[in-house]
Amino acid sequence: MTRRISFGTVLLYLVLAVLVVVYLLPAYMAVVTSLKLPNEITLPRAWEFPSTLNWSSFSEALALLKPNLVNSVILTICATALSTVLGSLNGYVFSKWKFKGSEVIFTLFLFGMFIPYQVILIPLFQTLRAMNLYGGLPGLILAHVVYGLPITSLIFRNFYAQIPTALIESARLDGAGFFSIYTRIVFPLSIPGFVVTSLWQFTQVWNEFLWGICLTRHSENPITVGLAQLAGGQAVSWNLPMAGSILAAIPVLCIYVFLGRYFIRGLLAGSVKE
């Protein structure tokens, strides 16, 4: 059978090729600029390939951003782990132990995911200050855990809805209680759920900026704030901000490229509809 190549097919691939180029251009620009020597970076020649590869921008940016990267790693791991575990328990209750009003509570939870966070910023700032948590990572972790609860509960609830209720019922008849059903049946089945949720939370917390800048002092700033300061103002040479951007993007890009399937599932779950 010979493949018929129609005009439509050619057009399809042509349009797709153009779109691919357009979507990759910013990444190309970031890489090229970060590899240039500072005096080689000029506006008219911005798109051109560097004459010599200069890797020193990366080590320089890494030296500047290292404290921020360390902060972000601690912050992201703690916040992701806590909110995922809590979300799993909540999702278990919301899907398998429905009680009168649990759907209302669930909807009230979801609301927390859609508020513009500016609306809770001032009380959050005041509360953290009163709890002596303002400025440091624990306060930021607390904020990320609390406001991460809606999405993690949502993903786990939808995930656990796929576990047949009959399985839970029969375990109950065998005398298993609330927690033993969770540890023996639900939890072992949840590994994909944990992967989806923690990847989603990881990217969200890693990329967050508003709380980072409002709730932490300089030494505790996460990577997004560090990068904004590195790139902000009248940046002298663009190789550093670009190298910093790439450094800040690498962890989430790795997740996305290698575990993209799970990332997309988190993304689709975030749109509420099952």
Partner 1 sequence: MREVSRDRIKAFITLLPSVVLIGVFVYGFIGNTVWISMTDWRGGAALSENPVKNFIGMQNYVELFSGFLDGRFRQDLVNAVYYSVLLLVGAVGIGMFIAILLDRKPRGEDFLRTVFLYPMSLSFIVTGTIWRWLLAPQGGVNLLPTYLGGKALDFQWLSSMKTVLLFDWQNLFPILLYLAAFVLILLGLGKLRRDPSRAFKHYLVPGVVLGAVVWLFGDLLPRALFMEEEHGFNLATLGIILATIWQYSGYTMALYLAGFNGISQDLMDAARLDGASDFDYYMHVAIPMLKPITISAVIILSHISLKMFDLIFAMTGPDNAATGHPALDMYLTTFRANDFAKGAAIAIVLFLVAGTFIIPYLVTSYRQRRNAR
Chain residues 190-209 in contact with partner 1, contact rule CB under 8 A: 203, 206-209
Size of the site for partner 1 (CB under 8 A): 95
- The least distance separating partner 1 from the CB of residue 151, rounded to whole angstroms, comes to 12
Site string for partner 1, 150-189 (x = CB under 8 A): x--x------------------x--x-xxx----------
Question: How far, in Å, CA of 134 to CA of 130, rounded?
Answer: 8
With CB under 8 A as the contact rule, the residue among 118, 166, 217, 236 that binds partner 1 is 118
Kindly write out the interface string for residues 126-155 of this chain, putting x where it contacts partner 1 by CB under 8 A and - elsewhere: -x---------------x--xx-xx--x--
Q: Does 25 bind partner 1 (CB under 8 A)?
A: yes
Among 64, 74, 86, 195, binds partner 1 (CB under 8 A): 86
**Residues 62-81 close enough to bind partner 1 by CB under 8 A:** none
- Residue 93 Cβ, how far from partner 1 at the closest point, in Å? 5
Smaller CB distance to partner 1: residue 109 or 194? 109
Instruction: Scan for tokens 């576990």, then name that residue.
Output: 163
State which residue, 193 or 241, has the beta carbon closest to partner 1. Answer: 241
Residue type, 167: L
| Spatial CB neighbours of 134, under 8 Å, sequence gap ≥ 6 | 125, 128, 215
Sign of the CA dihedral 24, 27, 31, 36? positive
Q: Should residue 7 be labelled a site residue for partner 1 when binding is judged by CB under 8 A?
A: no
Shortest CB 262 distance to partner 1, Å: 12
Q: Which of 10, 16, 62, 189 binds partner 1 (CB under 8 A)?
A: 16
Q: Which residue in the set 5, 104, 166, 191 belongs to the binding site for partner 1 (CB under 8 A)?
A: 104
Q: Which residue of 58, 61, 109, 198 would you call a contact of partner 1, by CB under 8 A?
A: 109
CB of 240 to partner 1, least distance (A): 10
Residue 15 binds to partner 1 (criterion: CB under 8 A): yes
Q: Are 75 and 222 in contact (CB under 8 A)?
A: yes
* Of residues 272, 149, 155, the one with CA closest to residue 205: 149
Binders in 245-264 for partner 1, by CB under 8 A = 245, 248-249, 252-253, 255-257, 260, 263-264
